[in-house]
Amino acid sequence: MMRAAILLAGLSPLAVAAPVAAQSHHGGHQQPAPAKTDADPACSPEHAAMGHCTPKDLQADGPAGATGTDLPAGDAPAPSPPGDWYADRYFSKAEMDHSRHAMMIENGGQKTAFIAINLAEYQARKGRDGFRWEGEGWYGGDINRLTVKSEGEAVFGEGSESAELQFLYSRAIGPYFNAQGGIRQDLGHGPDRTYAAIGFEGLAPYWFETEGALFLSDKGNLLARIEGSYDQRITQKLILQPMAEVNFALQDVPESAIGSGLSDIELGLRLRYEIVRELAPYVGVEWARKVGDTARFARAAGDDPDSVSLDVGVKAWF
């Protein structure tokens, strides 16, 4: 029995091969052999489609006319985008130009508006509780915008201490920064002043929000300001935000109680909770210090050059 089983196993390949050989002869003529190709037997189309291998004809320099993902991996310059649009075969140039223009507007070229209230807070200070605000809004596209900024503070029962309004043209000078120029108008306590303004704002490396500007008044006084903030996320909704603002003056401006050089510093720390992204109440603390001749002007007016406040407010945008 063992010998019979071995004999059957040896004859089975011949039995399978015989019908195949018979099918290759028909009417006394031998079927032609399959044409020789450059296909890579080790890389089937199924494996190539799944990205498991690269066919031999796509290796090395790639076949003529290969573009996009057909090109081999490497650091060669990217191929130029295709210029033949299939729809051009059926529609006129004017119709296609209109369609592409509408597509560009709908995918980034449209005009939008934005308003941000960065600070709107009650400030509890020693004997001089007050209110502070800071915000901006803009209208335009990705490159050119009209921007309006406003900030100021007031003491309850005494009115506005300081207030300013800026109207600026803003132009993108990179993916993260805008250059700005326009006018600034001072309001509130002290003389009204109009300034020419030029500056920048944007997102610095490591996600620091930065802003700086130079202001030249109609009286020839030159002021400068730089400020920054950083959002440190504790959770997805709880954010700790340190802030700093520093102001300078080229010369004394006694009527505005501003001294030359470094005039004042503000440091703040606020903890906010984003109920939704567009609305976040917060609590915080702020320390402000007038220095140099600005501090001297404050003392002469009976004010303390140092102040600390506890803040409760809301940040919003829409």
User: Is residue 144 included in any domain, yes or no?
Assistant: yes
User: Is residue 49 included in any domain, yes or no?
Assistant: no
Which residue has better confidence, 198 or 45? 198
CA gap 79, 93 in Å, rounded: 25
Q: What is the pLDDT of residue 161?
A: 84
pLDDT tens digits, 230-243 = 999 999 999 999 99
User: Is residue 77 included in any domain, yes or no?
Assistant: no
SS3 readout for 122-145: EEECCCCCEEEEEEEEEEECCCEE
CA gap 87, 94 in Å, rounded: 12
Domain residues for 158? 112-317
User: Is residue 189 included in any domain, yes or no?
Assistant: yes
| pLDDT value at 120 more than 70 | yes
Side chain identity at residue 16, one-letter code: V
The whole-model pTM stands at 0.71
User: Is residue 88 included in any domain, yes or no?
Assistant: no
User: Is residue 98 included in any domain, yes or no?
Assistant: no
DSSP 83: -
At 16, the pLDDT band (50, 70, 90 cuts) reads very low
Check: CB of residue 258 under 8 Å from CB of residue 294.
Answer: yes
Structural domains in the chain (count): 1
pLDDT tens digits, 50-59 = 666 665 554 4
User: Is residue 11 included in any domain, yes or no?
Assistant: no
| pLDDT value at 217 more than 90 | yes
Check: CB of residue 276 under 8 Å from CB of residue 242.
Answer: no
Q: What is the pLDDT of residue 21?
A: 40
Q: What is the pLDDT of residue 108?
A: 76
| pLDDT value at 31 more than 80 | no
Q: What is the pLDDT of residue 150?
A: 97
CATH number at residue 267: 2.40.160.40
pLDDT tens digits, 93-112 = 999 999 988 988 888 788 99
Token readout for 196 is: 């020419």
Q: What is the pLDDT of residue 46?
A: 66
Check: CB of residue 62 under 8 Å from CB of residue 72.
Answer: yes
At 205, the pLDDT band (50, 70, 90 cuts) reads very high
CA gap 155, 244 in Å, rounded: 21
- Average pLDDT, stretch 62-71? 56
User: Is residue 242 included in any domain, yes or no?
Assistant: yes
Dihedral in degrees, nearest 10, Cα atoms 220, 221, 222, 224: -150
